[in-house]
């Protein structure tokens, strides 16, 4: 709950900053009539809208679970990220429309020096805020904060392109470059909006996060205990800042309930140490079978029926299958 409140406060700060930067860019646009700066301004208005959406989603996600939402309200963050991605795509198409309109009307550029100063200042603030947002989003497992931070970085990169182009225009008076820059940046905006939208929809559909599972597998291989004969049927689902992890853990069949529970506790502590405390961990214990002896590293087992032949390294492929491992398991 503390992390959820921290996420909410940070998002509120980011939203306030977005409003200020949007106003600064709108002023720069009206001073210069530059389509490139309009592109930046539209990115910022999307930041403002997405910021308020993210703020609401984090407020909802911070609510405790209830009867109607037994897994909590964390998926509201995915909805926020999806809305943000859609808004970014819409902004990109709007810039294309404005570029075409300007080609027809041919509006002149004015006061580029003042516009450059304003845009450069907003770019620097955006980058610093975005970096901090991404750092805290990863720390607290918040997709909404990471999406906001990435969007601020995207905004900064487009701002750098705008500044470079305006400097060239300022010294060369090649005013047609303004339209070229705006059109090019709109394509980048649309592409990055699509990526954010795709990521959020994957979360809504509970698509497996393969990078997260790979990290999970690495941690397990480095910290495995001899009573963990195998781990399989692993599933990891993100609900906002909370990770829901399910798996089957095979332990020696003769362990009593308390001993098996100690192994689960040890597994949970290792996972929490790496991924944080915002974890719901559900482990189903299986007793080993005779074919498990060949891969069991337990040295003092007086129930062994077959000799140990080799240890099965857990991989992305074999740990997610709903099947106990044996000597025929292929390491991939």
Tell me the C-alpha distance between 216 and 185, whole Å: 37
pLDDT of residue 58: 62
Whole-Å CA distances, 253 to 85, 298, 307: 50, 13, 17
Do residues 249 and 286 make contact, with C-beta atoms less than 8 angstroms apart? yes
Tokens of 185: 């940046």
Report DSSP state, residue 70. Answer: T
Beta carbons within 8 Å of 177's beta carbon, 6+ residues apart: 165, 168, 169
Question: 203: closest CA among 193, 191, 212, 215?
Answer: 212
Tokens of 54: 């993210």
pLDDT of residue 252: 93
CATH number of 210-319: 3.30.70.1350
Secondary structure string (H, E, C) spanning 239-300: ECCEEEEEEEEEECCCCCHHHHHHHHHHHHHHHHHHHCCCEEEEEEEEECCHHHHHHCCCCC
**Secondary structure class of 310 (helix, strand, coil):** coil
Tell me the C-alpha distance between 44 and 23, whole Å: 9
CB contact burial 12-46 (16+ within 10 A = b; e otherwise)? bebbebbeebbebbbebbebbbbbbbbbbbbbbbb
pLDDT of residue 83: 74
Mean pLDDT by runs of 10 across the 332 residues of the chain is: 67 82 85 77 71 67 62 63 76 75 62 80 87 81 71 78 79 77 77 77 63 84 90 79 81 92 90 74 89 88 88 85 69 44
Is 2-204 in CATH node 1.10.10.10?
no
pLDDT of residue 258: 93
Tell me the C-alpha distance between 39 and 180, whole Å: 12
Residue that has been written with the tokens 């001073």 in this structure: 31
pLDDT of residue 327: 56
Positive or negative, the CA dihedral 200, 201, 205, 208 is negative
Domain chopping of the chain, boundaries? 2-204, 210-319
pLDDT of residue 332: 43
Tell me the C-alpha distance between 8 and 318, whole Å: 38
pLDDT of residue 330: 46
pLDDT of residue 196: 75
Tokens of 224: 């495995």
């Amino acid at each position: 709950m503390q992390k959820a409140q921290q996420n909410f406060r940070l998002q509120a700060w980011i939203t306030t900053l977005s409003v200020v930067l949007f106003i600064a860019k709108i002023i720069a646009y009206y001073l210069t009539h530059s389509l490139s700066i309009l592109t930046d301004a539209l990115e910022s208005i999307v930041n403002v809208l997405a910021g308020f959406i993210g703020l609401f989603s984090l407020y909802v996600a911070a609510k405790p679970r209830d009867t109607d939402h037994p897994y909590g309200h964390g998926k509201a963050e995915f909805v926020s990220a999806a809305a943000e991605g859609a808004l970014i795509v819409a902004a990109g198409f709007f810039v294309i429309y404005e570029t075409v309109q300007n080609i027809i009307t041919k509006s002149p550029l004015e006061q580029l020096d003042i516009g450059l100063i304003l845009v450069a200042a907003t770019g620097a603030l955006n980058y610093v805020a975005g970096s901090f947002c991404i750092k805290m989003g990863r720390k607290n497992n918040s997709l909404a904060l990471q999406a906001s931070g990435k969007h601020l970085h995207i905004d900064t990169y487009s701002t750098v392109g705008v500044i470079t182009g305006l400097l060239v225009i300022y010294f060369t008076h090649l005013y047609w470059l303004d339209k070229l820059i705006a059109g090019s940046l709109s394509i980048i905006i649309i592409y990055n909006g699509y990526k954010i939208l795709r990521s959020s929809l994957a979360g809504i559909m509970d698509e497996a996060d393969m990078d997260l599972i790979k990290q999970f597998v690495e941690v397990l291989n480095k910290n495995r205990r001899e009573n963990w004969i195998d781990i399989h049927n692993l599933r990891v689902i993100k609900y906002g800042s909370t990770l829901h992890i399910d798996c089957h853990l095979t332990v020696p069949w003769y362990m009593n309930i308390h001993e098996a529970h100690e192994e689960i506790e040890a597994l949970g502590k290792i996972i929490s140490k790496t991924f944080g405390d915002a974890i719901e961990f559900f482990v189903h214990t299986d007793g080993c079978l005779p074919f498990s002896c060949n891969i069991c590293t337990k040295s003092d087992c007086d129930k062994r029926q077959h000799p140990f032949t080799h240890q099965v390294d857990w991989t992305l492929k074999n740990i997610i299958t709903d099947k106990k491992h044996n000597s025929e398991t292929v390491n991939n």
